[in-house]
A and B are shown apart, each in its own frame.
Chain A
Amino acid sequence: MDTFFVVIGMGLCILVLFVLYRVVYGPGVFNRVAALSAIGNKTLIILLIMGFAYHRVEMFIDISMVYALLNFIGTIAASKYLEMEGSTL
């Protein structure tokens, strides 16, 4: 079962590298913010898979919940900032 988890984790890492192309080359800032949200989703699952592979899930659950929360607040803050064109925050 451990090798199965490691294989899925490596597959997800390769998917993150593909989305990184959109972060670098996306024309404009909106594409970059959407791709960052996608990377955050995959990172959450990679964290949990690492917890299962090392047989210490209790440690990684709290970390992944906090990461989901911070990803959400970051996306909302970025969209709020981009909505006001020209005003100082």
Chain B
Amino acid sequence: MSITTILAVLFMVGGLFFFTTATIGILRFPDFFTRLHATGKGDTLAVLLFLVGFCFYEGFTLTGLKIIFIAVFMFLVQPTATHALSRAGFRCGVKPWMKKEDKK
């Protein structure tokens, strides 16, 4: 078990943890915009951690370079898609969730 394999396993377990928290978020949050927070941020970070872990496992070959390309592409593209969805939701009048005021 070389050092690169241990590093790859650590990154992959971290990515799995963030996927789990993003899934719990998309199930339990009360509103569309908050669910978009969970999946837009948590999923992107988890995918990036997984891809870095794969790159450590694979070494400095052509395949590792292609994995870096996929990582750069996901880093550019995921926030853009989240932004487009939230704009569409706002334009169509989806109401955000407000905390109920306590009337004392």
Interface residues of A (CB under 8 A from B): 1, 4, 8, 11-12, 15, 18-19, 21-22, 28, 30-31, 33-35, 37-38, 41-42, 44-45, 48, 52, 57-58, 61, 64-65, 68-69, 72, 75-76, 79-80, 82-83, 85
How many angstroms between the C-alpha atoms of A44 and B44 in the bound complex? 12
Instruction: Count CB-based A-B contacts (< 8 Å).
Output: 108
B77 & A68 in contact (Cβ 8 Å cutoff) = yes
A64 & B35 in contact (Cβ 8 Å cutoff) = no
* Number of residues of chain B lying within 8 A (CB) of chain A: 43
Residue of A with least CB distance to B20:
A15
Report A89 CB to chain B, min CB distance, Å. Answer: 14
